[in-house]
Structure 1
Amino acid sequence: MDRMYRVLGFWTAMFTVMFYLLGLDKTALLFLGQTGFFVLLSYLKLSERMYMYIFGAYLTVFFAGFTYYTTFLMVPGAE
Structure 2
Amino acid sequence: MNRMFRVLGFWTGIFAVMFYLGDMKDASLLFFGQTILFVFLSYLNLTERMYIYIFGAYLTIFFAGFTYYSIFIMVPGGGGH
TM-score w.r.t. the length of structure 1 is: 0.96
The one-character-per-residue Cα deviations of 1:18-61 (angstroms, maximum 9, x if unpaired) are 00000000100000000000000000000000000000000000
Distance in structure 1 (CA, Å) of the matches to 2:41 and 2:61: 17
The answer for the alignment partner of 1:18 in structure 2 is: 18
The answer for the alignment partner of 1:34 in structure 2 is: 34
Distance in structure 1 (CA, Å) of the matches to 2:77 and 2:50: 43
**2:49 is paired with a residue of what secondary structure?**
helix
Any runs of at least 4 consecutive aligned residues in structure 1 with deviations exceeding 4 A, and if so which?
Answer: none
Q: Which amino acid aligns with 2:15?
A: F
Deviation at 1:76? 2.0
Q: How many residues align?
A: 79
Distance in structure 2 (CA, Å) of the matches to 1:17 and 1:75: 25
TM-score w.r.t. the length of structure 2 is: 0.93
The answer for the alignment partner of 2:3 in structure 1 is: 3
The answer for the alignment partner of 2:75 in structure 1 is: 75
Matches within 5 A, 1:34-53: 34-53=34-53
Distance in structure 1 (CA, Å) of the matches to 2:3 and 2:52: 13
Q: Which runs of 5+ in 1 are unaligned?
A: none
**Percent of paired sites with the same residue:** 68
Deviation at 1:62? 0.1
